[in-house]
Structure 1
Amino acid sequence: MVATALLGTERRTPPGAAPGAEPAAALLDAAAVATLRRRAGLRPAAPRPRPAPAPPDTRPPLPAAASRRLTLLLADRLGPGSGGGRRGTAPDLTELLPQWLSAANRHGYRAPAALLPALLDAARARTDLRSAALALAGPRALWLARANPDWKFALRGSVPPAVPEPSGPGVPSAPAADGAPVPAAEPPGGAEAAAAARRLWEEGLFAERVALLDTLRRREPAAALALLDATWRTERAEDRLMFLDSLRTGLSGADEPFLERALADRSRNVRATAAELLSALPGSAFAARMAARAASCVFLDPAAPVPLLTVVAPHTCDAAMQRDGVIPKPPSGRGERAWWLGQLVEAAPLSCWTERAGGRSAAEITALPVADGWQPELHAAWSRAAVRQRDAEWSRALLGSPSAVSAAAPGTASPGERTRLLSALPPDERAGWVAGFIAAHGLPDAFQLLGVCAVPWAAPLGRAVVDALDIAREAGSYPWSFSGVMGLAERCLDPAEAGRLELLTAATDEPEGASPGAGGYWSEAFQRLVRTLRLRRTMLDELAGRA
């Protein structure tokens, strides 16, 4: 048959062809018969165990409208009734999918079984979706991932439901003969899961071990520390650094003995990270040592006619300071003494300054004059300390009034420094400060600040952003400079603001000197913003069963 097909039926008659039959049809008939014979004659394969059924997922199913919405979001296309139109005014569904997943998880829904493959594919393509997507997919996603190597990433973040508890109040008090920590009695029914966790920690890939440690720190900090301590001495320096960084989650006084040992690590980066973590524990012995050093460098001048802070920077960086994580060699452009001073002050507990300053508050201390031009260095170090220790009072004092902040403000000279200080404030206060900053200074330096504000934005912050965008539109400002803020507004503005923004969607006459095409761009951008807000409202209604 192969030879006949290659030579052509005009030159060779197909085998078994009936007299008078069409040669080409006869060849195809013969091929079909041969194929059927071959399939029917296959020997049966050796039997294999039937796959275990997928585990049950008892969470409630998505409402029908929300399920259809998820299908559209995963397909990255607009559905009926969501507006259509050109892409320039259409909502960006890829940016709305993370919000939809978070909202669905807050309701406690499970993903439709038919959408699990698409959900896993989306999580594979976008790491920012993985946590929320796997939470919605639930145990059946792990069941599927075991059968498809493309989805093995889902298994890396899966952690057994129980792990061994360490002995003692926090860190294991004594190692076993093999150097591993001695666990306390395991909870009933937890032996198998505890063994699985230990096996994954000892045999898993690096990414799997990091995921395991991060998950356990959120759930059982002491148990995670016990696993880390068991293999600490055999880990590579770069791995020790990553593992140590995971202790930021659930950091407590129980971690102090382990971190004190890490101060003697062979790796300078590991020592520095251990010192940073210890400085976030104001009651630690490390914090007391750094407080004593910092207090000898910064003090109130008893001879000054008015309260004045005097700074005497360290003259040397001795071995004890280096053992506590002080890096002796400064970066290019920094003086040694200023470099050492900054490290001492940022590692000292902020409470020590209240004691040293006669009970003054943080606002009163930061308002004191500093002799010999040391104020920028001192305030910058206090800012880093406030961020490490998550101290709202000191962050508030160092930020000052949002309307009075200038580019040269001590301690908050850059948007990045202001952003880190803002993260220590309560969400409502954070939003209010940023709203005041935007009202006073506009949007050019506000993008990073907006990124740390809770979503949806509080009403005062939303109004401040919209007013600033409207001012830029009226002035004919270069519109593409505000695309980042406009994108944030689409994701973060309260959907209730859509009605108020409708007036801004109309195209306006461009003022003299405006950027060419600015009017049309602003109209298009505000149309997209309004439509996105309305779509977000519809999505929330669907998840709540109101649509």
Structure 2
Amino acid sequence: MSGTITPAPSAPVPWEELVTTALLGTDRRPAGASGGPAGLLDAAALHTVRRRAGLLPAAPAARPEPAPADPRPALPPAARRRLAQLLADRSAAGGPAGRRGTAPDLTELIPQWLATANRHGFRAPASLLPALLDAARARTDLRPQALAFAGPRGLWLAGLNPEWKFALRGSSGGSSLPDPTEPESVARLWEEGLFAERIALLAAVRAHDPAEALVLLATTWSTERAEDRLMFLDSLRTGLSPVDEAFLEQALSDRSRNVRSTAAELLSALPESALAGRMASRALSCVSPDLTGDGATVVVEAPHECDASMEHDGVVTVPPSGRGERSWWLGQLVEATPLATWPARFSGRTPREIVGLPVADDWAEELHAAWCRATVRQRDPEWARALLGTPSVPPSNGPGTASLAERSKLLGILPPAERAGWVAGFIAAHGLSEAFQILGVCPTPWAEPLGRAVVDALDIARDAGSYPWSFSGVMGLAERCLNPAEADRLEVLTTTPDEPEDASPGANGYWSEAFQRLVSTLRLRAAMDSELIPA
């Protein structure tokens, strides 16, 4: 036996030191042993083998529960093939904007296909659920219809893939909600559930018994986070009634400004609430008729201060940049005042007559804008008609507001047929350049007068030699919203007429392609609808 002593192996260099050396370089930070870069790599390899050798086998995870049953009927075979085609085309999409050619854009037809399938109550094919969830992940506009179509199996599958976790937000997370008539189960989930489950539970109880939903919310209200209180309060918009007033009055004293503001907004949507009465009293002291001249006029005296009681009722003290304080306060008071207050204030005049009165001292724009917001909040069709005025009148000279965004909100209050008729008259008078935004509030498929007005305006723009690409948005909207039955009537527009001398080069070729694509898309939509008709 030799007397030579074998030196003990040196302690391994910690992994963190090896990483630091790799980042800084072996010249600046030696790895604890000689050998430079090669020695560093050897030490890293040895460390990796040592770590792997010391790993213990992971405990097997529990198998997921089987997917829940979906009792809805299966898709007809042709519709199933069509869905596979639409989802495959979505995956292959991604070309540049400004699409040319005559082929329909299948990706833009997915929302309508899903809406029709849901209307007929079909269930999604299991094999297409991954592609459907991928499509919904990429496009938020698809999510409501896609998740409704995916059903309980879609939520079950989403719970197994982190990339689809969006599907669990705002739902019960794939779990079944207790029956609202089972108080013990409801209370347990409300106390122990995830936020998404609690939101879904509150909505379910609210639909069953609004008063019971308030009782449930009150049990934990004081301990909820501010952002959660805001979401729970916002859910009271559904089924809002005088029963909610006492709870909302308490929320006016909430420590969160956003919660206070939302509570005030909801109370002002209840014309008989005490807050609406307080706001009306303040507004009446600011807006009054002047009958001293030859005709009635509206006199405005905006508030000179925002006192503590106004703040308590939701009036925001500090205006946005560029707004005057007094006009900002006035707008909030009028916006929260019940619209029924004004006919009595103006000697029984109708909303149309009140809106038509001259307003002194350049307060008309501010006052009418506030009346528009009040109309949208209170969903009053008569005031909406008065503030919209006649569609042939230019927006800048209209009785309400020149903002097309505000006009879109007012139009949303009118019955669908009346809404479409007003927009058709607007397009006939002013063309399409300002109509895109208000077209979005019209129900689809467009009623015949509206569809004809849009197509006629497009045809007029083509004949006038207008720059065609500026109408691509309206043309795309027409592809999705025109009645498919219009395809044959529009066939005549697919020809390429002679190009006017002052037209943009190649404009008529673009117009011809666009109308051909419109006709082919309408025919494809008709085929898709027929495939989804239950046998």
Residue 487 (1) aligns with residue 500 (2): no
Equivalent residues in 2 for 1:342-421 (5 A)?
Answer: 342-421=331-410
The gaps in structure 2 that reach 5 residues or longer are 1-56, 92-98
Q: Determine if contact 1:462/1:493 at 8 Å carries over to the other structure.
A: yes
Deviation digits for residues 245-297 of structure 1, max 9, x if unmatched?
A: 33323322222222212222233333222212211111111101111111111
Q: How far apart, CA to CA, are the structure 2 residues paired with 1:45 and 1:273?
A: 50
Aligned length, in residue pairs: 471
Which of 246, 249, 253 in structure 2 is aligned with 1:257? Answer: 246
Residue 134 (1) aligns with residue 147 (2): yes
Offset at residue 45 of structure 1 (A)? 11
Q: Determine if contact 1:375/1:410 at 8 Å carries over to the other structure.
A: no
Deviation digits for residues 72-131 of structure 1, max 9, x if unmatched?
A: 1111179xxxxxxx9622111111111101100100111222222222222233222222
Calculate the TM-score normalised by the size of structure 1. Answer: 0.80
Q: Determine if contact 1:161/1:193 at 8 Å carries over to the other structure.
A: no
Q: Report SS of the residue matched to 1:89.
A: coil
Q: How far apart, CA to CA, are the structure 1 residues paired with 2:446 and 2:352?
A: 28
Residue 199 (1) aligns with residue 199 (2): no
Q: Determine if contact 2:159/2:165 at 8 Å carries over to the other structure.
A: yes
Residue 541 (1) aligns with residue 534 (2): no
Deviation digits for residues 496-530 of structure 1, max 9, x if unmatched?
A: 11111111111222212211221111111111111
Deviation digits for residues 179-220 of structure 1, max 9, x if unmatched?
A: xxxxxxx43xx74466335422xx44xx66656656665666
Q: How far apart, CA to CA, are the structure 2 residues paired with 1:87 and 1:481?
A: 14
Calculate the aligned-residue CA RMSD, in Å.
2.7
Q: Determine if contact 1:163/1:197 at 8 Å carries over to the other structure.
A: no
Residue 460 (1) aligns with residue 449 (2): yes
Which of 301, 316, 331 in structure 2 is aligned with 1:327? Answer: 316
Name the residue aligned to 1:338.
Answer: 327
Name the residue aligned to 1:6.
Answer: none
Q: Determine if contact 1:504/1:523 at 8 Å carries over to the other structure.
A: yes
Q: How far apart, CA to CA, are the structure 1 residues paired with 2:210 and 2:102?
A: 47
Which of 317, 323, 335 in structure 1 is aligned with 2:306? Answer: 317
Which of 418, 426, 431 in structure 2 is aligned with 1:442? Answer: 431
Q: Report SS of the residue matched to 1:88.
A: coil
Offset at residue 223 of structure 1 (A)? 5.2
Q: Determine if contact 1:164/1:194 at 8 Å carries over to the other structure.
A: no
Go from structure 1 to structure 2 and tell me whether the alpha carbon gap of 1:520 and 1:223 turns closer, same or farther (over 3 Å shift). farther
Name the residue aligned to 1:528.
Answer: 517
Task: Pick which of 282-291 and 146-155 moved more.
Answer: 146-155
Amino acid at match of 1:476: G
Q: Report SS of the residue matched to 2:288.
A: strand
Deviation digits for residues 391-414 of structure 1, max 9, x if unmatched?
A: 100010011000013324343111
Residue 121 (1) aligns with residue 134 (2): yes
Equivalent residues in 2 for 1:18-33 (5 A)?
Answer: none
Amino acid at match of 1:154: A
Task: Pick which of 479-488 and 228-237 moved more.
Answer: 228-237
Name the residue aligned to 2:260.
Answer: 271
Q: Report SS of the residue matched to 1:514.
A: coil
Q: How far apart, CA to CA, are the structure 1 residues paired with 2:348 and 2:525?
A: 50
Q: Determine if contact 2:100/2:510 at 8 Å carries over to the other structure.
A: no
Amino acid at match of 1:422: L
Offset at residue 435 of structure 1 (A)? 0.4
Offset at residue 164 of structure 1 (A)? 7.7
Name the residue aligned to 1:102.
Answer: 115
Residue 509 (1) aligns with residue 502 (2): no
Q: How far apart, CA to CA, are the structure 1 residues paired with 2:430 and 2:364?
A: 24
Q: Determine if contact 2:100/2:513 at 8 Å carries over to the other structure.
A: no
Deviation digits for residues 23-49 of structure 1, max 9, x if unmatched?
A: xxxxxxxxxxxxxxxxxxxxx998887
Q: How far apart, CA to CA, are the structure 2 residues paired with 1:416 and 1:53?
A: 48
Q: Report SS of the residue matched to 1:76.
A: helix
Name the residue aligned to 1:500.
Answer: 489
Q: Determine if contact 1:253/1:284 at 8 Å carries over to the other structure.
A: yes
Q: Report SS of the residue matched to 1:369.
A: coil
Go from structure 1 to structure 2 and tell me whether the alpha carbon gap of 1:317 and 1:146 turns closer, same or farther (over 3 Å shift). closer
The gaps in structure 1 that reach 5 residues or longer are 1-43, 79-85, 166-185
Q: Determine if contact 2:380/2:413 at 8 Å carries over to the other structure.
A: yes
Go from structure 1 to structure 2 and tell me whether the alpha carbon gap of 1:68 and 1:481 turns closer, same or farther (over 3 Å shift). same
Equivalent residues in 2 for 1:163-182 (5 A)?
Answer: none
Q: Percent identity?
A: 70
Q: Determine if contact 2:283/2:330 at 8 Å carries over to the other structure.
A: yes
Amino acid at match of 1:365: I
Q: How far apart, CA to CA, are the structure 2 residues paired with 1:462 and 1:322?
A: 48
Q: Report SS of the residue matched to 1:327.
A: coil
Offset at residue 302 of structure 1 (A)? 4.1
Offset at residue 455 of structure 1 (A)? 0.8
Calculate the TM-score normalised by the size of structure 2. Answer: 0.81
Go from structure 1 to structure 2 and tell me whether the alpha carbon gap of 1:239 and 1:192 turns closer, same or farther (over 3 Å shift). closer
